[in-house]
Amino acid sequence: MIDRWNWSERAQKWVYVELKDGKRSYTYRKTPPEEFQNLNKQLKELNQQLLCVENHKNNIELFKQMMTLSQKMQEMRNSC
């Protein structure tokens, strides 16, 4: 994907792909980007809330939020 961080299985690194003058430019790094780390932190916080919630409707809502965050993280991991 263009203009966002993605995990590259081939390079075993995170890669940011952007277009410069019609050509692709690649930036690599070993550590996860801030966006991925923030999603991971949010997922952890929602999981803690989920463990404490007793109301079934609130439980379902938290689970849906967790699934949305998880999907975003998977999209970053499966793009390259």
pLDDT band at residue 77 under the 50/70/90 scheme:
confident
Residue 80 above 90 pLDDT?
no
Domain that holds residue 64: 4-77
Report how far apart, in Å, the C-alpha atoms of 39 and of each of 63, 68, 70 are.
Answer: 15, 10, 8
Domain count for the chain, please give it: 1
Say what the pLDDT of residue 15 is.
Answer: 95
Residue 79 above 70 pLDDT?
no
Say what the pLDDT of residue 2 is.
Answer: 86
